[in-house]
Every structure is written in C-alpha cells, then in structure tokens.
Amino acid sequence: MSEVVIQALEVSADVLALAGAVFFLISAIGLLRLPDIFCRIHAPTKAATLGVILLGLSSVLRSLGEGNLVWLEDLVIILFLFLTVPVSSQELASAASRRRSRQTDDENSLENH
Amino acid sequence: MSALGMLSIVTMMLALLLILIRLVQGPSDFDRLLAAETLTLGLIGLLMLRASTSDDRFYVDAALGLALFSFVGAVVLARYLGRGADDE
C-alpha cells in the first residue's frame, strides 16, 4: 500500500475512535441522569452500542493500515455486539416491567381490602 | 500513540467512571445490572482501542471473550430478577 493510503487510514481511524468515545460518554451521561429504569435502558442500548461499533471500526481501519489480520476478529466482535445487545436489553426491560406490574398489582389489592 | 488516540482513551475512561457511579448508587437491581452491562460494553471498546493503538495484539482476544460471556450473564441475571410467582 502506498504511503498516502496508510496515512489516510491512520487519520480516519483516529477520528472514528474519538467519535466512538464521545458517543459512549454521551450514553454514560444519559445513564447517570435519566430519571427511571425504562429511560435509562434507552441510553446504553443505542448510543453505547454505536460508540463501541465506531471504536471497533477504527481498530479495523488501523489494522488494515498496518497490514495484519486483527481486523477479522474486530469484525466478529462488532457483529456479535450488534446481535446480542438488543436481545439482552429487551430481556432486561421485560423483566423490569414484569416486576413493576407485579408491585402495582400488590398495591391495588391492598387498597381493595 | 497519537494525541487523538490518547484523548479518546481518556474520554472512554471518564465514561466508565460515570457508569461506575450509577453502578454504586443505582436504586434498583435492574439499574445495577444495566450499569454492569454497559461497563462491559465500555471495556470491550477500550480493549479494542488498546489493541489497535499499542503493539499488544492479544487484547482483542480478551474483548472477544468478554463479548461472548457478558451476553449470557446479562440474559440469565435479567431472567432471574424478573421471575414472578405466576411463571413458576
């Protein structure tokens, strides 16, 4: 690969890494400041996944520039996160809503008696 | 390492610190589980960043293992916390 292409890959990898880190920071602020659990699930599942995927893409570009095969493993991680993060957060949200509905049922039955 | 790479590592660590605050104070179990899950996500990103900006390529294997196992743990814990009298 020519020197210019390697330089361009390095610079774009740096920019992608910074963008991913900023997205992750925004999602962490959201996790800290949003009022209840159903709002808080929303922050990490979208912004944090995007942030981590951008970090992985920057790693892909950098290893392409250096000419080693780490980018294959990075792609596997990205694909796996893309598939599993929605599943686990859906599971968490349904568990939280099941517990909340059980608690409100208990309160209603207490009021009726 | 370039200045931008250093800046992104510092930003990620700041984000992990904020998530740690939520993990410690988080009112319900679900908040703590969500914070732990996000912490793992951030660690995966940080490990990939570290693997690509330094000479130690094997950090990316740790990120892959973390990605595989954190999913199982999160799903099992969420099912355990959300179980009720009606589905036993």
Per-residue pLDDT reduced to its tens digit, A6-55: 888 889 999 999 999 999 999 999 999 988 888 888 888 889 999 999 99
pLDDT in tens, B38-69: 999 999 999 998 888 887 888 889 999 999 88
Residue in chain A lying closest to B35 (CA): A31
Alpha carbon distance A64, A31 (integer Å): 34
pTM to 2 decimal places:
0.88
Picking from A97, A104, A44, A84, the residue whose alpha carbon sits closest to that of residue B82 is A97
pLDDT in tens, A42-82: 888 889 999 999 999 999 998 888 888 888 889 999 999 99
ipTM of the complex: 0.89
- Mutate which of B34, B53, B80, B86 to disrupt the A interface (most A C-beta within 10 Å)? B34
Q: Are A65 and A13 in contact (CB under 8 A)?
A: yes
Q: Are A14 and B2 in contact (CB under 8 A)?
A: yes
Which among A44, A49, A73 is the nearest to B64, CB-wise? A73
Residue in chain B lying closest to A81 (CA): B67
Structure token digits, residue B6: 């250093």
